Amino acid sequence: MHELGILVHMAKTLKSLAEENQLTEIGGITLEVGEVSGIVPEYMTDCWAYYRKKEDIMKNSELKIEITPAVTICENCGKTYQTVKYGKQCPHCESYDTYLLEGNGCNIKEIEAC
């Protein structure tokens, strides 16, 4: 379960931002999670419910997760397509000369602070 490791790193970032901006409480976080990132949103939510209690600044915060769709581009025809639906092979020209453009990352999109 790498979700806990991601969460620990995210908490360090949040605490640092809170110190820099003299925040006393974080009310919520919106996290963008790529569709093919390997992160299981339910695991992340469970880890958040546990871990937020360890940090006073986040103890009442809510985690919102937004899924970012995976998009692949074909180097032969230049068209993009849905990665999960079609996989590695381009549905337009059937080439395998493709690469993932987006949808495998994890990003803090928004922080609600008090």
43-95 pLDDT, tens digit per residue, is 999 999 998 998 889 999 999 999 999 999 999 999 999 999 999 999 999 99
104's CB contacts (< 8 A; 6+ apart) are 34, 36, 37, 38, 70
> Tokens 């230049």 appear where?
78
Tell me the domain boundaries of the chain: 3-69+103-113
Average pLDDT over the chain, rounded to an integer: 94
pLDDT on residue 112: 93
pLDDT on residue 2: 82
Q: H or E segment at 10?
A: helix 3-20
On whether 106 is known to bind a ligand per the annotation, the reply is no
Q: How many other CB atoms are found less than 10 A from the CB of residue 21? A: 9
pTM for this one? 0.84
pLDDT on residue 45: 94
On whether 93 is known to bind a ligand per the annotation, the reply is yes
Which CATH architecture does the domain made up of 3-69+103-113 adopt?
2-Layer Sandwich (3.30)
Model confidence at 114, pLDDT cuts 50, 70, 90, reads: confident
On whether 114 is known to bind a ligand per the annotation, the reply is no
| Cα 99 from Cα 37, distance rounded (Å) | 15
On whether 2 is known to bind a ligand per the annotation, the reply is yes
